[in-house]
Amino acid sequence: MIAYDADGPTLLPATAMAGRDDPVDRILATAYELFSRRGIRGVGVNELISSSGVSKATFYRHFPSKDALVLAFLDLRDQVWTVDLIVAEARRRGNTAEEQLLAVFDVFGDWFQRDDFEACSFINVLLEMGPGHPLGQASIGYLSRIRGHIEALAEEAGLDRPDEFARSWHILMKGSIISATEGDALASRRAQQMARWLIEHHRNL
């Protein structure tokens, strides 16, 4: 279940959903909380069952395997993080497509300062599982969808070669996330400066 606070959208933690009747909500909230912070291999099925407060039979009735739950987690992450946080907030902050593109890094700057900053789950899962694993392949797909949002904004802005622009822009996004994880408090600002240069390079005069 998604909740909204001053910091933006987030998924209600498993503890806040313990009394909810829907076991899928509880399982997904638990998975979101644990997978986003500790990765996939670091979380076992028994812990997921115990923390979500459901029986083993209930868990497997809704998610026949751990991989099935990870896929559901990635889909939820796409909605909560990509669509509701990054894209929607960037569009809200900018009046033009170019402003909205640059606002992505303003949103990142706020996100990087949050106590619950957990980096990008799609990158994490891809690196953890590898590109040949089905979960790695799914992560590649979600990363591609992020580029699609950027490409759409580039097209709205009338920038030249929007696909190439989106790929370069996505490198800045991913790089700033890694730098923030390393502890660079100015990662989003540095990336935004390079992003301005990239826009100039692709502006169709």
The ranges assigned to domains in the chain are 2-202
Residue 13 banded pLDDT, cuts 50, 70, 90 = very low
Those residues with Cβ within 8 angstroms of residue 45's Cβ, 6 or more apart along the chain or in another chain: 59, 66
Residues 176 and 108: beta-carbon distance below 8 Å: yes
Residue 11 banded pLDDT, cuts 50, 70, 90 = very low
Element holding 119 (H helix, E strand) = none
CA distance 85 to 73: 16
Average pLDDT along the chain: 91
Q: 4: which strand partners?
A: 9
Q: And the tokens for 126?
A: 């891809």
Q: What does the pLDDT look like over 81-138, one tens digit per residue?
A: 999 999 999 999 999 999 999 999 999 999 999 998 999 999 999 999 999 999 999 9
Average pLDDT of span 172-196: 97
Residue 20 banded pLDDT, cuts 50, 70, 90 = low
Q: Report the pLDDT value the prediction gives residue 204, as an integer from 0 to 100.
A: 67
Residues 157 and 96: beta-carbon distance below 8 Å: yes
CA atoms within a 13 Å half-sphere pointing along the CA-CB vector of 96: 5
Residues 3 and 10: beta-carbon distance below 8 Å: yes
The highest-level CATH class for domain 2-202 is mainly alpha
